Amino acid sequence: MLMREAHCHIGLLGAAMALPTVTRCASVGEVLAMVGQLARKAKPGQWVRVLGARHQGWRERRWPTVGEMDAATAGVPTVVMSMDWHECVANTPAMTLAGLAPGARVGANGVVHVDANGLATGLLIEHAAYAAWESAPAAPAGALPGFVRAGLARYQELGFAEVHDLRTEPALAKALLEMDASGELARLGVRVAMFPLVRDLPEVFEMVAQAGGCGRLRVGGGKIFIDGTLNARTAATLQPCAEPIAGCTLGKMMVEPEEIDAQMRACDAFGLPMAAHAIGDRAVRAVLDSVARVRPATPGTRIEHCELIDPADVPRFAELGVTASVQPCHLLVDMPVLTRVYGHALHKVLPLRSLLASGLRAGSLVGGLVFGSDAPIVGPEPADSVLAAMTLGDGFASLNPGEAIDDATAWKCFAVG
């Protein structure tokens, strides 16, 4: 069976393979010990950047405070990024160098979190997290192609024939075009579909056009972010979660309905579908509502993640020809936050069996159910998603086992059809 990875971040996967991770840490103390050790080894001007934080699964179920971070890192700018890349914790030097003032709003959705006294806690959300992360010295010129090669080589090892990159920046598109022209993609035996942000779609589309045709590379569609994530408690939901963050009782919608419509039309003008990051049930409904209003001429509109889907919206996927592009492997790390914070909505967690029963076709990119990993957010191994889809929490912490599917059907969701 030829396999497709329907949702990943190729460059980030390659880069992440070279960065330290706190995925094995079980407590705040272990995290602080790790960053402290890295800080002591850092050279002048070097930052400490660590991936894979999942504070909901730590013993204390909280982020380190900025004071704890400062004490552990002794003046070395340090950022610990969450496993879902939607929030991080930073020390004072990192926030200062990034120009992040307490309480500041960054971009459309970024927040520098503060305590009751208005002092920065070190927690940075959405665009504020990206600002801190990207303020570190840039990777050496020419590093990106190496990251891309490492990421694609990993997919080749796992037996994937097709990979969908779900936020292809122009620099990444350039690296992929060069690899395609040189025959490197052919040697790897991997085809790549690029999904740049809708704002970058014209530039990437033109780059491909100027290349005069691509053998193993294509533009698959445009991407938009509708909401945040479950672990950050910014996933847009229809009901409040048990532990809402300030100002986000129902999570956070990143765009208004008219903007979703506009970006869908922009993709349609290029003859491409839109791929929408929507994790909470309110965000999923917003995308389905937009499809119903716009009725794009281009088939294959995708909702990425859709980890919570209200029962009333399940049949709308097939009715509207919308593809559910999901990553069951997320459940293996999302269980603590789902059971504790979203316990009232467990019946909405990845209703895979119902989506298929309503008419979605396993493995189809148009009106289908397709699987991916979101690597490096979660590892790219397909067996993890197959296991999660077959159990939906049974044996770990029962989530929605009635919606589990059999192994043959789960593997078919990875199949290139």
Domains and CATH numbers, the chain: 3-12+148-412 (3.20.20.140), 15-134 (3.10.310.70)
Residue 56: what pLDDT? Answer: 80
Residue 396: what pLDDT? Answer: 47
Residue 127: what pLDDT? Answer: 87
Instruction: Report how far residue 109's alpha carbon sits from residue 127's, in angstroms, rounded to the nearest whole number.
Output: 6
Instruction: Name the one residue in this structure whose structure tokens are 């929605």.
Output: 400
Tokens of 255: 């765009």
Assess contact for 97 and 89: CB atoms under 8 A: no
Which residues make beta-bridge pairs with 398? Answer: none
Tell me which residue of 5, 376, 276 sits closest to 158, measured CA to CA: 5
Residue 393: what pLDDT? Answer: 58
Instruction: Report how far residue 111's alpha carbon sits from residue 109's, in angstroms, rounded to the nearest whole number.
Output: 7
What pTM did the predictor assign? 0.85
Identify residue 122 by its one-letter amino acid code.
G
Give CA angle at 413 (411, 417), nearest 5°.
105
Task: Report mean pLDDT in 10-residue bins for the chain, 417 residues.
Answer: 96 86 92 96 94 87 94 96 88 95 82 91 90 85 86 95 97 94 92 97 94 86 95 92 86 95 98 98 98 98 98 98 96 85 94 98 98 92 93 66 94 93
Instruction: Report how far residue 58's alpha carbon sits from residue 56's, in angstroms, rounded to the nearest whole number.
Output: 6
Tell me which residue of 306, 335, 326 sits closest to 401, measured CA to CA: 335
**Within 42-160, where are the H helices?**
66-73, 92-97, 127-134, 143-158
Assess contact for 254 and 109: CB atoms under 8 A: yes
Residue 255: what pLDDT? Answer: 95
Residue 23: what pLDDT? Answer: 85
Instruction: Report how far residue 41's alpha carbon sits from residue 45's, in angstroms, rounded to the nearest whole number.
Output: 12
The dihedral sign for the CA sequence 190, 196, 200, 206 = positive
**Within 119-183, where are the H helices?**
127-134, 143-158, 170-181
Q: Is 250 helix (H, G, I), strand (E, B) or coil?
A: coil
Say how many CA atoms lie within 13 Å of 6 toward its Cβ. Answer: 32
Instruction: Report how far residue 290's alpha carbon sits from residue 116's, in angstroms, rounded to the nearest whole number.
Output: 39
DSSP letter (8 states) at residue 234: -
